[in-house]
Amino acid sequence: MVLSALIPDELIMDILSRLPVQSLVKFLCVNKSWRSLITDDPAFKALNFHLHSSDTNSNYLITIPNEFSSETRLCTVIFRNNNNNGEVSNFVAKEIEIPFRTPTHFYRVLCSCNGVVCMSGCGIYTNIIDSLYLWNPSVRNFKMIGSCTPPGDTNIMITRHGIGVDHRDHDVFLLIIRIIFYYDVYEGTYNGEKKPYTEVYSLNTNSWSRIHESVVVPCLASDQPTAFVNGAIHWKALSFSSRRCVIMYFNTSERVFGEIRLPVNAFDSIVGNQWRPTVFKGLLAVIVISRVFPASRKKICDIWIMNEYGVVKSWTKRFAIPITLEDTLFVRPLGITKNDQLLLDLDGKLLWYDLDCQQGWILGFHGVQAVNIIGSREFGEIRLPVNCFDHMVRLHWRVTVFKGLLALIVISRIHPASRKICDIWIMKEYGVVESWTKRFAIPIPLEDTLFDRPLGITKNDQLLQDLDGMLLWYDLDGEQGGILGFYGVQGSFDVDTLTDSLYLLGPTRE
Each residue's pLDDT, cut to its tens digit, for the chain (510 residues) gives: 455 566 777 787 777 778 777 777 777 777 777 777 777 777 777 777 777 665 655 666 777 777 776 677 888 777 766 555 544 456 677 788 888 888 887 888 888 888 889 998 887 667 778 789 999 888 778 999 987 778 888 888 889 999 998 877 665 688 999 999 988 877 777 887 888 999 999 988 889 999 988 899 999 998 888 999 999 999 999 999 988 899 999 999 999 999 999 998 887 655 556 889 999 988 999 999 887 665 566 788 899 999 999 999 999 999 988 886 666 667 788 888 877 888 888 776 778 888 888 887 776 443 333 333 333 334 557 788 877 766 554 457 788 888 888 888 888 776 555 677 888 889 998 888 889 999 988 887 665 566 677 777 877 787 877 776 566 778 888 777 766 544 333 345 666 667 777 665 654 444
Residues 171, 280, 117, 87: is their CA dihedral positive or negative? negative
Burial of 463 from C-beta contacts in 10 A (0-12 / 13-18 / 19+): buried
Phi, psi at residue 22, to the nearest 5°? -60, -35
Angle among Cα 207, 220, 105 to the nearest 5 degrees reads 55
Q: Count of H helices and E strands in the chain?
A: 5, 36
Beta strands, E only, 244-330: 245-251, 256-261, 275-280, 283-291, 299-306, 315-322
Q: Which long-range contacts (CB under 8 A, 24 or more apart) does 255-262 make?
A: 255/200, 255/211, 255/215, 256/215, 257/215, 257/216, 257/217, 257/218, 257/219, 258/218, 259/218, 259/219, 260/234, 260/284, 260/306, 260/310, 260/312, 261/312, 262/286, 262/304, 262/315
Distances in whole angstroms, Cα of residue 218 to Cα of each of 244, 306, 309: 12, 21, 19
Helix (H) or strand (E) holding 11: helix 9-17
d(CA 346, CA 355): 18
| Nearest Cα to Cα of residue 402 among 365, 437, 432 | 437
d(CA 376, CA 501): 35
**Cα R_g (the chain), whole angstroms:** 24
HSE, CB side, 13 Å, CA atoms: give it for residue 285: 24
Q: Check: CB of residue 270 under 8 Å from CB of residue 251.
A: no
pTM of the full predicted structure? 0.71
What are the b/e assignments for 43-60, b being 16+ CB within 10 Å? ebbbbbbeebbeebbbbb
d(CA 463, CA 441): 12
Phi, psi at residue 83, to the nearest 5°? -90, -170
d(CA 404, CA 493): 28
